Amino acid sequence: MRFIFLVLALVLFLTWIGAFVVFHVAAALIHVLIILAVVFLVIHLFSGRRAA
């Protein structure tokens, strides 16, 4: 349960890479995914620092 934000960030990042390669026309949605991945990664880093 501790790594949920890291897993979400990784899944969203991989989805972004896959969508960028496969569906180049959906650029706006793809960039929303990468922003969400970065947000989840930052949340994970801050909550991990607080828990340690």
User: Quick one: pLDDT at residue 26?
Assistant: 66
By the 8 A CB rule, do 40 and 9 touch? yes
In this prediction the pTM is: 0.52
Range of the domain at 15: 4-51
- Helical H runs in 1-52? 4-22, 27-51
pLDDT digits (tens, 9 = 90+) for 2-21: 688 888 888 888 988 887 77
- Domain total in the chain: 1
Structure tokens at 14: 């991989």
Residue type, 29: L
